[in-house]
Structure 1
Amino acid sequence: MNNLYDELRAALFSVWHRRWLALGVAWGVCLLGWLVVAMVPNSYESKARIYVQLDNVLSDQIGIGRGDRKSDIDRVRQTLTSAVNLEKVIRRTAIGEDVKTPKQMEMAVLSLGKRIKVEATQDNLFEITASYGDGGYSDPKNAKLAQDIVVTLIDIFREENLAGNRGEMSQSLDFMDQQLAQRQKELETAEQKRLAFEAQNPDLVQGGVTTLQKLETLRSDLRTIDADLAAAQSALAAINGQLAGTPPTLPGAGPTGGARAALAQAQSDLASLRARGLTENHPDVIAAKNQVAALRPAAQAEAANGGGGVPNPAYTSLQSIKAERQANVQALMARRASVQGDISRITSLQISNPQLAAEYQRINRDYDVLKGQYDKLLQDREELRLRGSVETEQSAVKFDVIDPPTTPRAPIAPNRPLLLFGVLVIGLGAGAAAAFALGQLRSTFTTTAKLERAIGLPVLGAISNAVTDAGRELRAKHMKYFIAASGALGGLFILLLVVEYVQRGMVA
């Protein structure tokens, strides 16, 4: 422990003994370091926050959803710091005053791109940050340039989303018009080809309807006629059944006239039961049949005795309905025969001219495809035109600058006071290290212990330094000079700090 203490005392004595050397080295290192720190330009930072509103009822109605708007804004945000936009910033600010060649522009764009940051702090909130520091400009001008950069970026953000959309929409509409013009020419060519074919082959086309289309129409009509004919035949069969169970005449009045009337009523009831769908084995049907069988002899006897009757009105009405339905069935059958004849004729025409029919079918197919494409393009163009009108005239994106670009008051880099103090500490340390190193190179002994270790013999004592009065006065004078030089170094450090804060005040 004593050896360590002695070594520390020896080191401090060595440095103090060569204090002028330490002070000179400290002065040199500090002056050089402070010069380097002074050459580093101050960088100033400006920030702004933008709120983007995406809601619009009209946009939602035509299909411009919130997701589409958000993707557009994300795209603009990601491309905001592109080389093209950074070049716009340079040309619109004072940075472009010193840019004369493409190489200088390229270097300026690369440098500016490292100083700009655009990030989304929330869904609809964006923060734009820009810093700038150039040794060729004064601090107030660097601070103003940082603010100008943010202002220009906000303008570009708005232009890219509004004017950019207008430009893209105009280009899209021009492209759609070109495609429509091309499809229109192709459609006119196909239409002329179809008209020429129809003029050369009038048998295949009648009234603008092709044989295939007419054949399909006739087949559909035939299916309808068959269904109507089946229904008419069923209705006629029902009328025939009702006529079979209805007597042509009604019995007249007389002592035995009741048997014939009862028989007619029983037969009518039996016919009604059968019309309801009851089988012959049903109890009600069996009872009705037995009643008819029982009444028949009495009715025959009554007829044999000369009992008369009157015409049955129901029977007469059923006869007229039957005649009407028979006429309907005959008309449907005649129409069916006519349609079948037309189908046979068209089928035979196709069989006799299969190549012409196939060619005309191909021509119509090509025409239908081109017409479908043209109609689809026309609809898409109108939808795109409407969407463009909404985006440009009723824009769903509303910009609101929450925090305008800030005016920098103090530089963000470098931390000059800390750097100045660090240079001072390094300078003092370098001076002390130089004095200590020089002491180690000189063959002197600061303590008796070091001398004993060096010669290997015991040292009996040491004689202290004797100083005369003149020597003391000279030492005091030198000490004053040393203190003044040390104080000047500290004063220069304080002066540099004062200058730094004065410059900051001038920017504010």
Structure 2
Amino acid sequence: MDSLIAQLMAVFKRMWRYRWPGLIAAWLVGIAAAIVVFVVPDRYEASARVYVDTQSILKPLMSGMAVLSNTEQQVNMLSRTLISRPNVEKLVRMADLDLKATSKSDQEALIERVTRNLSIQTAGNSANNLYLLSYRDSSPEISKKVVASLLSIFMESSLGASRKDSTTAAAFLNEQIKTYETKLEEAEARRKEFRLRNLQLTQADGKDAASRLAEASNQLEAARLQLREAMNARDAARLQIETERKRSQPGTSLQSLMQESSQKFATPELDNRIAELKRGLDQLQQRYTDQHPDIVNIKRQIRDLEEQRKKEVADLQKAALANPVPTGGPNDSLANQELARILAAKEVEVAQIRARVDEYGARYASAQGAIKLAPQLEAEFAQLNRDYDIIKKNYQEMVERRESASLSTDLDNTSGVADFRIIDPPRASPKPVAPNRLMLLAAGMVVALGAGLVTAFAASQIRPVFHDLNELRHRLELPILGAVSRQETPEDRRRVKVDLLRFGVASGSLVSLYAVGLIGMAIWISRQAG
């Protein structure tokens, strides 16, 4: 603490050495500040209060049918953005402020000055929609004219902005509706083309691919069964004819007939099942060993079917031997003709059923191909329907919003955006509201004293002088061997007193002049107010 006090005392001593330059700077700044305070022109303020009524009886009635804009928010935003460059330029032209601005630089300075002096504030609570418009100028007539022009722009801008928004919204909705109409037509065309390419997905019977495949499989199996039955009947007729022919020939023995009949009798159904099982057995044997349960089961089925085939052949042979046809009789030719006729009929029936089997086989193959493509086609059709539904929904919403926007525009045109009520018309104050010369004069005195102190401090730092041995030792970091003191004479002491008196009178005169000026200014202001 002692060292800090010592440093402050050293600084004060150095500043005291340059007190006269500081005092001169204080006088110069004080005189300049006083001149500025008294030269600054008076400024008058004009103001107007306007109330914006955003309530309308039609809006609650049309709620849910029309898009009701937030009028309060629009007016609030308009009040915040009203002081923009285009509006200020329009204001300058309306108030004839641009008559004196001849050059471009003068116009820019005028716009900046008007923008700086304009003010739009909410009077009281912002929810009351009460706005205060004010402007300050050196002329009360000009300030009043500017406020009146600003009030006109404020009222016109709200209506123009609302109409512009409605027009822009209607144009945007019409453009979007046309776009969605095109998209909707394209989506409908894609669905139509898909249905024409894939008629199996939209058949009238309402059956899916799996049902059609099952039906085709059942029909094919039934047709194959009928074909096997017809082939068995045909083979029996053919065997009967061959038997009758052998019997009619001499030297035909019963043993030879039995051998031939065993070769002629056939069981195509069992043969086909045995062949299918053998093919499956071959495939399994390529993958598994003979001890695999599936292979053992198939071998057992093959043995059972072969035994069943042998039994059926034996039954056919017994039936042929039990009904022998006598040979050499007069009715042999008639019997042969009847058998030939039966055989021909069976051949025709076999051909017909074989054609049916081929047709059902083609249908079954087509159904198999369809069921393989069915998931992909159904997925594509679902995607087309999804896109179509989305586009249709957006299109309908756009149409509804266009109707709502049209109704909202008609509502705004009927009821208006807001009702502007001028509470206080534009009026300029008869007395200047600025500048506050009393405060400015006090600030000028403070600035003058501060300028003197700063000048003395700067001079002491530029040409420093050491007044203490400790400070000298600390700065130079060298040992001090001794000090030579100066012996003051009575003349020196008298000169110091005279100098101190002069400094006191000069500095006191500056403060006194400012004090007198402040007192006189206060009296003058009070008289004007009275």
TM range, normalised to the smaller chain?
0.3 to 0.5
Tell me the TM-score normalised to structure 2 length. 0.43
